[in-house]
């Protein structure tokens, strides 16, 4: 039997940064996001040879680990080994092979690393027939990344990938609440028609940006506190604009959110990103933002329908790559094949 999993990547519209500890524990965070038809995939294949074999297309690696001690060495596959240690160190005696890949590179701002953790947990939940709810899966994914491995970052990606769809997610000290949004199908179709997703041409390492953001928050720098509070408020306003079918208002709120996000750290943007964003606004875009922590990855823009093709052409002239996408309502999925 082969077990497979698929978890969707996400685009975040507002509130990103308020899910990064310690802000949510102290002041409460809120994020609005949607999953898209780009995925992290995993396959789990039992073998008759002891140990673990991992093939990752994202890192172009085939690695073999003969026992549990080998799983504690550090390399590009640390998140994979951490999930295996959580579930199945004894199962390595029977042998496992994992085949992994995603539709976007790590560091792209679409939450690909956290989504892969969710996909991996889904594999073991299905393989071992474990009674884990979606909240259990998302919490465990956060624990593995943020606590077990000490990787800096927020908490929204794990919940978005697990639950799927449009969600307004609230973060408190000991509680996360995922609120699915009932947005009209016509509104979603129109939103897809107006949104433009463009890869800037390079990935980024979010750790340095997040460390700078957290440091400025813990020092209680007034500009940082005000920017995070404004970002949380904008997440609520973006949610309300979508529910009212006010898409032009949604686009303008994206622009305000990007201006607040730039206050998090000087590393959030750079001259290339500023030039691409400025060119898009000059051609008619109402607003947009860099996805994820910033510094590279994907640029999301809200464009008038009759200007979108002009903006896309200009961004590609500047080195970007426009990517077609649609919204995905489903979250983590797993299945077995003979």
Same domain, 178 and 191: no
Same domain, 192 and 171: no
Instruction: Show the tokens assigned to 44.
Output: 């789990």
Instruction: Show the tokens assigned to 221.
Output: 């720098």
Same domain, 177 and 244: no
Residue that is written with structure tokens 């109402």 in the block: 286
- Give the domain CATH number at 64: 3.30.230.10
CA distance 163 to 332: 7
Instruction: Give the range among 5-14, 96-105, 135-144, 201-210 with minimum mean pLDDT.
Output: 201-210
pLDDT at 146 (0 to 100): 94
Domain boundaries, position 230:
185-323
pLDDT at 205 (0 to 100): 63
Beta strand 52-56 with 96-102 is parallel
**Does 229 qualify as catalytic in the annotation?**
no
Same domain, 114 and 153: yes
To 10 degrees, the CA torsion angle through 121, 24, 168, 131? 30
Mean pLDDT score, 228-248:
97
Find, among 172, 144, 138, the residue nearest to 156 by Cα: 138
206 pLDDT higher than 90: no
Which range is most confident: 157-171, 194-208, 265-279?
A: 157-171
Same domain, 122 and 224: no
Q: Name the residue with higher pLDDT: 302 or 293.
A: 302
Same domain, 310 and 217: yes
- Give the domain CATH number at 242: 3.30.70.890
Same domain, 164 and 194: no
CA distance 151 to 141: 12
Q: Which of 60, 67, 157, 306 is catalytic?
A: 157
pLDDT at 294 (0 to 100): 75
As a whole number, the mean pLDDT across the chain is 93
Same domain, 211 and 333: no
Query: pLDDT of 86-143, one tens digit each?
Result: 987 655 667 899 999 999 987 788 999 999 999 999 999 999 999 999 999 999 999 9
Same domain, 101 and 124: yes
The CA R_g of the chain, rounded to the nearest whole Å, is 20
Instruction: Show the tokens assigned to 279.
Output: 């060119």
Same domain, 205 and 234: yes
Same domain, 21 and 117: yes
Looking at the structure of the chain, the number of domains it has is 2
Same domain, 83 and 176: yes
């Amino acid at each position: 039997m082969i077990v497979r999993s698929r978890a969707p990547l996400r685009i975040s519209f507002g509130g990103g940064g308020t899910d990064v500890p310690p802000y949510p524990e102290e002041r409460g965070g809120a994020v609005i996001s949607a999953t898209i038809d780009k995925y992290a995939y995993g396959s789990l294949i039992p073998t008759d040879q002891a140990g673990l074999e991992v093939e990752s297309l994202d890192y172009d690696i085939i690695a073999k680990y003969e026992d549990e001690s080998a799983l504690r060495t550090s390399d590009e596959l640390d998140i994979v080994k951490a999930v295996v240690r959580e579930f199945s160190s004894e199962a390595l005696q029977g042998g496992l092979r994992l085949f992994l890949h995603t539709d976007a590179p790590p560091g792209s701002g679409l939450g690909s690393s956290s989504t892969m953790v969710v996909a991996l947990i889904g594999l073991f939940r299905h393989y071992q027939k474990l009674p884990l709810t979606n909240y259990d899966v998302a919490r465990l994914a956060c624990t593995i990344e943020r606590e077990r491995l000490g990787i800096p970052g927020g908490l929204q990606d794990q919940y978005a990938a697990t639950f799927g769809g449009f969600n307004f997610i609230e973060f408190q000290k000991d509680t996360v609440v995922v609120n699915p949004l009932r947005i009209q199908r016509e509104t979603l179709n129109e939103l897809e028609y107006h949104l433009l997703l463009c890869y800037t041409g390079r990935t980024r390492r979010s750790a340095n940006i997040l460390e700078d953001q957290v440091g400025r928050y813990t020092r209680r720098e007034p500009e940082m506190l005000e920017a995070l509070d404004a970002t949380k408020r904008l997440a609520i306003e973006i949610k309300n604009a979508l529910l009212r079918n006010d898409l032009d208002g949604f686009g303008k709120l994206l622009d305000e959110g990007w201006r607040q996000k730039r206050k998090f750290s000087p590393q959030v943007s750079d001259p290339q990103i500023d030039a691409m964003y400025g060119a898009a606004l000059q051609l008619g875009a109402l607003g947009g933002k860099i996805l994820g922590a910033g510094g590279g990855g994907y640029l999301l823009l809200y464009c008038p329908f009759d200007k979108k093709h002009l903006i896309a052409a200009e961004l590609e002239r500047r080195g970007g790559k426009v990517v077609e996408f649609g919204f995905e309502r489903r979250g983590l999925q797993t299945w077995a094949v003979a």
